[in-house]
Amino acid sequence: MVERNEPMTAAQIRQRFVEFFSERGHTHVASAPLVPRDDPTLLFVNAGMNQFKDVFTGREQRPYQRAVTVQRCVRAGGKHNDLDNVGFTPRHQTLFEMLGNFSFGDYFKADAIDWAWAFLTEELGLPPERLVVTVFDGTGEDAPADDEAAEMWAKHVPKGRIYRCSAKENFWQMGDTGPCGPCSEINIYRGDVAPATADQPGTGPEHEEDAYLELWNLVFMQYEKLDDGTMRPLPRPSIDTGMGLERVATAVAGVHSNYETDLLAPLVDEAKRLAGDAIPEGAKEGPFRVIADHARATAFLITDGVFPDKAGRSYVLRRIMRRAIRHGADVGLHEPFMHAVCRKVVELYGDVYPELRERAAVIDEVVRGEEEAFRRTLDRGLRRLNKAIEQHDADRSSFDPDVAAELYDTYGFPIDLTAVILREHALTLDEAAAEQALRARQGEGGGRGANLGGGGSISGYYS
């Protein structure tokens, strides 16, 4: 174990992870861009294994059988969408860094388990008595329980801290068919010593989420799933692991939230500095955390060639940016600020991802232009919406869809942004009825919203 007086920084964790597995024969492979290469099934790269998908299926050969990566990922659209949680839970981000080690038909469970345990407890110094693991219990898929992994974990973890979970929690597959297998998740208990309650139903990480933080998922790809749902063993079982850098940095630093780590706290602080004395009394942390996360995602997405626009990846970026801008307006940031927070992103991450520095001027120009355009829409629409909320009948929980249609038609204010703000006031909006009302207004020849820069499509702002 390495002795340290101070907790490791996130940069040190990142570097040591790569060194640890490089010392064990893994080739360090650079992060792929966030826009997937030749994979129309993905909106963004959302896991470390994405760039190795064809290697796992055998369609591509690489000159190595072991790899280690630090992969930038985005989960803000499609199946993997954390956007609504970002800023208001301790552990969700749109962009995050995933640490991963991979074996393509080389080592398997024993090494993956032993090395994961050694890295967490010896390299990072996490207390073994706070770590618990989960394994597949054999339910939910046509595959046996992973007793093999359970026995391997028993060398490191008391059996009372080895929880058995169904396929929903502990079985991974690449698609409806193809490579798949059981997985083991390593969690850290938020108290002093994790209870040994694996034999008690309804306990453990699966049921007591607030008491545990998932750190690392080890996927044991040992089967191929066929069209009829049956499994057959793979001739060369493989390993795919993923550990969020933000989460493990939280555990190592001993803080409660990812936003308190040195990965995100400087961005939160920058947003507060820019707001200065304009921060309203009683303002909470959530909006500043939204800004920190979304500025980071914005800078990386633009670096990888995504620009805010009306469809697909571009519209997801526009939603991310405008969500941050709207929250900024709530906490006193009444002038363009996103470009300044994005500059801080470049400063923090430019050494690890030099492409950020190379595109810093582009990031600045794009972000500034998008914010200036949206602020005209935002200011006009918010004034009208706030007035409508004040005049709303307190006995009704539903908001008038005609007013939402007017907001878009007259001010270019997106209907789904209206719905999000209304939810914050305990009001609901029938978005389908609002869109129908909008079509009726525009059919009468009075529609101007499409030309006001309201944000592209009528809906989809926060889907």
pLDDT in tens, 364-414: 999 999 999 988 888 888 888 989 999 988 888 899 999 999 988 887 788
As a whole number, mean pLDDT of residues 308-324 equals 90
3-state secondary structure of 322: helix
- Residue 284: other Cβ atoms inside 10 A: 12
> What does the mean pLDDT of the chain come to?
90
- Decide: helix, strand or coil at residue 349: helix
What is the Cα–Cα distance from 233 to 263, expressed in whole angstroms? 41
Tokens for 20?
A: 């640890």
Structure tokens, 353: 């991802």
Lowest-pLDDT choice from 100-109, 367-376, 417-426: 417-426
Task: Taking the CA atoms of 262, 268, 274 and 277 in sequence, report the sign of the dihedral they define.
Answer: negative
- The residue-averaged pLDDT of 205-230 equals 93
For the chain, percent of residues with pLDDT exceeding 90: 69
pLDDT of residue 4: 55
Q: Whole-model pTM? A: 0.87
**Cα three-residue angle 50-40-73, rounded to 5 degrees:** 35
Count of C-beta atoms within a 10 Å radius of residue 196: 15
- pLDDT confidence bin for 458, thresholds 50/70/90: very low
Among the ranges given (80-94, 255-269, 296-310), the one the predictor scored with the smallest mean pLDDT: 80-94
Cα distances (Å, whole numbers) of residue 67 to 15, 401, 458: 15, 53, 44
- Does 196 score more than 80 pLDDT? yes
Contact between 416 and 461 under an 8 Å Cβ cutoff? The reply is yes
Compute the average pLDDT of residues 235-240: 94
Could you give the CA distance from residue 268 to residue 341 in angstroms, rounded to a whole number?
Answer: 9
- For the chain, how big is the Rg over CA atoms in Å? 24
Could you give the angle at the alpha carbon of 93 between the alpha carbons of 461 and 97, nearest 5°? 130
CA gap 419, 427 in Å, rounded: 8
- At 89 the pLDDT is 85
37-81 residue pLDDT tens: 888 888 999 999 999 999 998 889 999 999 999 999 998 865 556
Strand partners, 117: none
End-to-end alpha carbon distance in the chain: 46
Residue type, 21: F
Average confidence (pLDDT) over 335-351: 97
pLDDT on residue 5: 65
Q: What does the pLDDT look like over 113-143, one tens digit per residue?
A: 999 999 999 999 999 999 999 999 999 999 9
